[in-house]
Structure 1
Amino acid sequence: MRIESPRFGSLEVDAEKLISFPAGLPGFEDCKRFTLLEMEITSGPGIGVLQSVEHPEIAFSVAEPDQFGLHYEFALSEDEEALLRISRSEDVAVLLILRRNEGPDSEPPVKANLMAPLVINMANRTGLQKVIGRVGCDVTLRPAA
């Protein structure tokens, strides 16, 4: 399958590697199929791009929480667990959507959305965005190595 991304140009995407978000993402409900692109950039490994298949102009920079030294735990509802069909915890990936701060003096230069992580069952390629209405999860900052 070929995607013409305004950001990345022409991309060949393996249909078997698509990730399905049955409910879409909040604000992007029409985007239900994505591919995860790994990016080699100077800010370090583990940064990727979640590229929409239906709307190639939509792409999100993403990273695993431990890229920021975070230990991140939260509970899924029964409906969320049923949607993801999780059978093994090691099949679950958690990604944070990143946003670049504008302006030359912005601190920090990149922010991660901790209140709406992406949860993906990599075994069956199904995901959702877990919107956390209040801080009821544990977030632990680890010292930098």
Structure 2
Amino acid sequence: MKIETKYHGEVEIVNKDIWNFDKGIPGFPEEKQFVILSLPDNDIYAILQSTNTPTIGFVIVDPFLFFRDYDFEIDDATVEQLMIEKEIDVQVYSILTIQDPFEKTTANLQAPVIMNSKNNKAKQLILNDGKYQTKHLIVPHAKVKG
């Protein structure tokens, strides 16, 4: 099927690549299906694109590439909701807030996107332990003005 996207124009997707967010994501409860689209010439960043609304696309990244000590527990309700059986089936992404200059770009570590690659179920999990915030610089040693 073809969908219109925020960053890639019209693209062809297949059903097996659709991620199902049964309860939507915070701020977008009606958006229940997304695909991950690669960025050209880039292995680090990708787009989490709504299959229904072309203007809804989030830049995502594997947070462990930037935050080696990032660690949290997935609560039992989420494990059950996503039907997670093995840790190896879990993929974790952080949504980025892209800034200009890029050195001001931040990752939301308080609300990771949890995905079960076994069944394509996904959820944005809100961590309430106070350890992480919604804005962590991904280039922590950059000298940012302003």
TM-score (norm: length of structure 1):
0.83
Indicate whether 1:21 and 2:21 are aligned.
yes
Secondary structure in structure 1 of the residue aligned to 2:30: coil
In structure 2, C-alpha distance between the alignment counterparts of 1:25 and 1:130, rounded to whole Å? 9
In structure 2, C-alpha distance between the alignment counterparts of 1:80 and 1:15, rounded to whole Å? 23
Note if contact 2:99-2:105 (Cα within 8 Å) is conserved in structure 1. yes
In structure 2, C-alpha distance between the alignment counterparts of 1:6 and 1:77, rounded to whole Å? 32
In structure 1, C-alpha distance between the alignment counterparts of 2:6 and 2:120, rounded to whole Å? 25
**Among 123, 126, 129, which residue is 1:128 paired with?**
123
Paired AA for residue 109 in structure 2: L
**Among 104, 112, 115, which residue is 1:109 paired with?**
104
In structure 1, the residue matched to 2:144 is none
Paired AA for residue 24 in structure 2: G
1:64-83 alignment, distance < 5 Å: 64-83=62-81
In structure 2, C-alpha distance between the alignment counterparts of 1:40 and 1:8, rounded to whole Å? 10
Secondary structure in structure 2 of the residue aligned to 1:66: helix
Deviation at 1:6, TM superposition (A): 4.1
Higher alpha-carbon deviation: 117-126 or 72-81? 72-81
Deviation at 1:70, TM superposition (A): 2.5
What is the CA RMSD across the aligned residues, in angstroms? Answer: 1.7
In structure 1, C-alpha distance between the alignment counterparts of 2:131 and 2:105, rounded to whole Å? 24
Paired AA for residue 117 in structure 1: P
Deviation at 1:73, TM superposition (A): 1.9
In structure 1, the residue matched to 2:61 is 63
The size of the alignment, in residue pairs, is: 132
Note if contact 1:65-1:71 (Cα within 8 Å) is conserved in structure 2. no
Structure 1 residue ranges, 4+ long, deviating more than 4 angstroms after superposition: none
What are the Cα deviations for residues 97-145 of structure 1, in whole angstroms up to 9, with x where unaligned? 011124x5x7x331100111100001110110111123357xxxxxxxx
Deviation at 1:69, TM superposition (A): 3.9
Question: Whose strand proportion is higher, 1 or 2?
Answer: 1
In structure 2, C-alpha distance between the alignment counterparts of 1:134 and 1:76, rounded to whole Å? 12
Q: List gaps (5 residues or longer) in structure 1.
A: 138-145
In structure 2, C-alpha distance between the alignment counterparts of 1:36 and 1:6, rounded to whole Å? 12
TM-score (norm: length of structure 2):
0.82
